[in-house]
A = this chain, B = another copy of it.
Amino acid sequence: MSNPLIGRLERHGPLTDEEKEVLQRITSRTTIFGPHETIVPEGSTPSHSSLILDGFASRHNHSLDGRRQITAFHVPGDFADLHSFVLKKMDDGVAAVATCRVAEVAHRDLKEITKHFPHLTRVLWHTTLVDGAVHRTWLTTLGRMDARARLAHFFCELNDRLGAVGLANDDSYELPATQEELGDAFGMSTVHVNRVLQDLRGDGLITSRGKLLIINDLARLREEGQYSPDYLHMDQKLERD
Contact = CB atoms under 8 A, between A and B. Distances in A.
A144 B89 contact: no
A38 interface: no
Q: Give the number of copies in the complex.
A: 2
A121 interface: yes
B139 A236 contact: no
Interface SS, A side: helix
A33 interface: no
Interface stretch (A48-56, A160-168, A226-234): A226-234
Interface string A127-139: 0111111011111
Given A114-B118, A129-B128, A89 B140 contact: no
A191 interface: no
A83 interface: yes
Interface stretch (A21-29, A65-73, A193-201, A203-211): A65-73
A4 interface: no
Given A83-B129, A115-B118, A121-B114, A144 B63 contact: yes
A64 interface: yes
A59 B132 CA distance: 13
Nearest to A231: B91
Nearest to A225: B64
Contacts of A87: 126, 129-130, 133, 233, 236
A186 interface: yes
Given A129-B83, A135-B135, A236 B140 contact: no
